[in-house]
Amino acid sequence: QVPLKPGRSLMDWIRLTKSGKDLTGLKGRLIEVTEDELAKHNKKEDCWICIRGFVYNVTPYMEYHPGGEDELMKAAGTDGTDLFDQVHRWVNYESMLKECLVGRMAVKPIAAPKDGVYLGVIKDQRISNSTDFFIVLGFDKPKESIFLLYFLFYSYDWFQTDSLITVVIYTKQKDMNAELVIVDCQDKRLRGEIIVDDYSYLVEVDLDHAVSEDVTVNIAEKVGKVEIILKKKDNIHWKMLGQSCEGHNTFIKRTDRGLFYRKCKLVSKTEVTHDTKLFCLMLPRGTHLCVPTGHHVYLKQIITGTEVVKPYTPVLPSLPLDFKEPPHHDGVHIYLMIKIYSCGLFTQALDRLQIEDYISVSNPEGNFKKSQVQTSEDLILLAGGTGFTPMVKLLNFALAEVSCLRTVKLIFFNKTEDDILWRNQLEQLALRDERFEVQFILSQPTKDWVGKQGKISSSLLSEFVKRSRKDSKVVVCICGPTPFTEQGVQYLKDLGYSQEEIHAFTA
């Protein structure tokens, strides 16, 4: 993120798009754009970008782009879809840039294969009535040869009794678990998504008849079988499961699947500090969703007519002080700890939400893998402000489930004492669990503060980030404002920590 000039906030952009000004220079006309034409508009003062086949004139948006003009210019005059997906595929550009739409590409440009390997999926080669047979082929560009990467036998089936409909998805995944299965059943539409590394398998149908809101999901973890059990509203015989929706029965890259949102009810809002609140959202009854440790969700609100999306990392209702039992996800509530900024577009709107109001919550995303800490002996967490949020579930997971851990240390950077989130709970935890230690460091302390002060620096890190033994296996996780995270990673590398030993939480 770069500092934006005054008058160039997201709110200012939304105002400009509503002003009726001609932002494309085409007076509302939509045109078909050839690749040659697109390539001509590659300057700051005349910049067109193609995203998923649609071309936008982003010239007026330049100064409003939170990532800065240079980032946007990387895609000037080209197909920026891949770049966009890498950096922020969650941003609802269709809504944000709708007034900048120039038109469609005449021929949809094909994104360049990554690393010279093109993955093509040949789908729907039926080898039996109920089994779809997927072949994933790799195309090795330098050698110009095609090779078989792997076979996937992903399929679904369904059956019924008088009162129930059971949809079964066979994944053949040995380590299938609740975090990899996301089910939504609302208004006669069933959507079941299975996550397999970077891929997603989807079953999505408009059901033939109405079902009740209760949905049961059973997962046979060892064989990878997922059962979605729906209750019929009327005890009639169904002739078919329903009509297939777009994307039904496909196995594609996760990044190619649009973000799915469901409306969640705000059930409580409690103060954590003077500016930070804990929001408790309730998932609809037909939703099965567990947010994995270290992953975030996107919240979506319509603010003065424009859809605005921001990421937030779910926490727990409180820090469990007894780690004898692995944490139990109640499957119903999502807790978010959110700082309300006095001039924050999204957080101000969030703060205005009343209990029982609804807000859209996406499927989880993130690249943190529990396996990164599963074999570590020392876990060091560096958090700045609300960068504490991913550390909550991580702390819980580490202390409850990682048996080889000897030390867990949280180094928590804040501006003032009043900004420290869950300070009491953290101190309590340190008293109760001898593996856990917490260090608070303030950047703007009052003169009464006797603890450590300063911002993240090489000397502070060399003082607090240490292995418990010379050769112990360590993981350092870092999250906070972007400059904090970037500087922290650099200092850690300077101190001799390898890339594999560091995990930085980012968007």
Alpha-carbon distance of 302 to 92, in angstroms, equals 11
Any residues with CB less than 8 A from the CB of 52 and at least 6 apart, and which? 81
CA distances from 422 to 272, 385, 395, 441 (A): 7, 11, 13, 15
Please report how close the Cβ of residue 506 comes to ligand FAD at its closest, in angstroms: 6
Among 445, 487, 497, 503, binds ligand NAD (CB under 6 A): 487
At 128 the three-state DSSP class reads coil
Determine, following the binding rule CB under 6 A, whether residue 390 of this chain makes contact with ligand NAD.
yes
Alpha-carbon distance of 140 to 119, in angstroms, equals 9
Q: Which of residues 274-333 bind ligand FAD (CB under 6 A)?
A: 296, 310-313
Q: Which does 384 bind (CB under 5 to 8 A by kind): ligand FAD, ligand NAD, none?
A: ligand NAD
DSSP structure class, residue 66: T
Determine, following the binding rule CB under 6 A, whether residue 414 of this chain makes contact with ligand FAD.
no
Binding characters for ligand FAD, 6-25, by CB under 6 A (x = yes): ---xx---------------
- Which residue lies nearer to ligand FAD by CB, 339 or 452? 339
Is residue 347 within 8 A of residue 269, CB to CB? The reply is no
Determine, following the binding rule CB under 6 A, whether residue 110 of this chain makes contact with ligand FAD.
no
Alpha-carbon distance of 130 to 158, in angstroms, equals 9
Q: Which of residues 465-484 bind ligand FAD (CB under 6 A)?
A: 481
Span near ligand NAD by CB under 6 A; candidates 84-92, 104-112, 408-416, 461-469 = 408-416
Any residues with CB less than 8 A from the CB of 75 and at least 6 apart, and which? 49, 83, 84
At 255 the three-state DSSP class reads helix
To 5 degrees, how large is the angle CA 256–CA 183–CA 163? 140
Binding characters for ligand NAD, 328-347, by CB under 6 A (x = yes): -----------x--------
Please report how close the Cβ of residue 394 comes to ligand NAD at its closest, in angstroms: 11
Determine, following the binding rule CB under 6 A, whether residue 479 of this chain makes contact with ligand NAD.
yes
Determine, following the binding rule CB under 6 A, whether residue 386 of this chain makes contact with ligand NAD.
yes
Q: Which of residues 279-298 bind ligand NAD (CB under 6 A)?
A: 296
Please report how close the Cβ of residue 443 comes to ligand FAD at its closest, in angstroms: 13
Tokens 């840039």 belong to which residue?
A: 97
Please report how close the Cβ of residue 35 comes to ligand FAD at its closest, in angstroms: 33
Please report how close the Cβ of residue 183 comes to ligand FAD at its closest, in angstroms: 24
3-state helix, strand, coil in the chain (%, to 5): 20, 35, 40
Q: Which does 362 bind (CB under 5 to 8 A by kind): ligand NAD, ligand FAD, none?
A: none
Q: Which does 343 bind (CB under 5 to 8 A by kind): ligand FAD, ligand NAD, none?
A: ligand FAD
Determine, following the binding rule CB under 6 A, whether residue 363 of this chain makes contact with ligand FAD.
no
Q: Which of residues 128-157 bind ligand NAD (CB under 6 A)?
A: none
* DSSP H or E stretch at residue 425: helix 423-432
Give me the residues paired with residue 230 across strands: 165, 215
* DSSP secondary structure string for all residues of 204-218: EEEESS-EEEEEEEE
- Which residue lies nearer to ligand FAD by CB, 60 or 390? 390
Please report how close the Cβ of residue 302 comes to ligand FAD at its closest, in angstroms: 14
Q: Which of residues 332-361 bind ligand FAD (CB under 6 A)?
A: 336-339, 341, 343-347
At 306, list the tokens. Answer: 């424009």
At 305, list the tokens. Answer: 């007519």
Among 387, 407, 435, 475, binds ligand NAD (CB under 6 A): 387
Binding characters for ligand FAD, 370-409, by CB under 6 A (x = yes): ----------------x--x--------------------
At 411, list the tokens. Answer: 């180094």
CA-based max dimension of the chain: 75
To 5 degrees, how large is the angle CA 163–CA 166–CA 170? 170
Taking the CA atoms of 58, 60, 62 and 67 in sequence, report the sign of the dihedral they define: negative
- Which residue lies nearer to ligand NAD by CB, 76 or 392? 392
Any residues with CB less than 8 A from the CB of 448 and at least 6 apart, and which? none
- Which residue lies nearer to ligand NAD by CB, 211 or 336? 336
Summarize as ranges the residues that interact with ligand FAD (CB under 6 A).
9-10, 296, 310-313, 336-339, 341, 343-347, 386, 389, 481, 507
Residues interacting with ligand NAD, by CB under 6 A?
A: 296, 313, 339, 384-387, 389-390, 413-415, 419, 443, 455-456, 479-481, 483-484, 487, 505-507
